[in-house]
Amino acid sequence: MRRVLIVDDDPKVCETLDRYLAHAGYITASALDGARALEIVQTFAPDLIVLDLMLPRIGGLEICRTLRETSAIPIIMLTAKTTEHDKLTGLSLGADDYLTKPFSPRELVARVEAVLRRTGTAGKTPRVIAGALTIDPERCEVTVAGQSVVLTATELRLLLSMARAPGRVFRRDELARLALGDDFEGLDRTIDAHIKNLRRKVGAEIIVTVFGVGYKLVA
């Protein structure tokens, strides 16, 4: 059974999400502040984190930044902030998806299932080599010129999509469909945020912007 960590400073939100996720077959744990959340991650080993951004002690963005230094655990942000800038900030730190408060618990469960579906299929793909880039989906490992790179599940799927066809230009909507699924509904700039993270990690010379069209991987 998959494990989900719920991080929100509102006990009622934690209780509601715990009930809905448990009904959907997930094992859950919850934390009411950021410091406690980081402690629980070490012992609970979640498959996904539902993370509120406005938290006491350690904020959600800082938690996301800390986790992404060593972990690719999928993260769904919960935010009361509705501006595009705030959402893109979370995505740029490595979050996989977001929901704006108030939201439907059923929608949250659907988002959890969608993100875990995406992260659970990568291991069925054989190893891909494109120039200095090597991707081993079975082990969720990526190296560039022999150096290990830590990617989120979404970043890994984006990279795989482009690495299977080096030199081909992918439109943003194509990448969204390949990496995020047909049911993804989000900002037009969501892919841009994930690509920005990828370029920082694997190198801007490997993933090239084709202005007015999209992106391509250069082997």
Q: Are 14 and 42 in contact (CB under 8 A)?
A: no
Work out the average pLDDT over 162-185: 81
Is-above-0.75 flag for pTM? Answer: no
Q: Are 17 and 107 in contact (CB under 8 A)?
A: no
Could you tell me the domains of the chain?
3-120 (3.40.50.2300), 123-217 (1.10.10.10)
Judge whether residue 84 has pLDDT over 80: no
Q: Which of 211, 98, 206 is nearest to 159 (CA)?
A: 206
Give the DSSP letter of residue 141.
E
CA distance 167 to 146: 22
How many percent of the chain have pLDDT more than 90?
Answer: 47
Q: Collect all residues with Cβ–Cβ distance below 8 Å to 85 and sequence separation of at least 6.
A: none
User: Among 13-27, 41-55, 75-89, which is the least confidently predicted range?
Assistant: 75-89
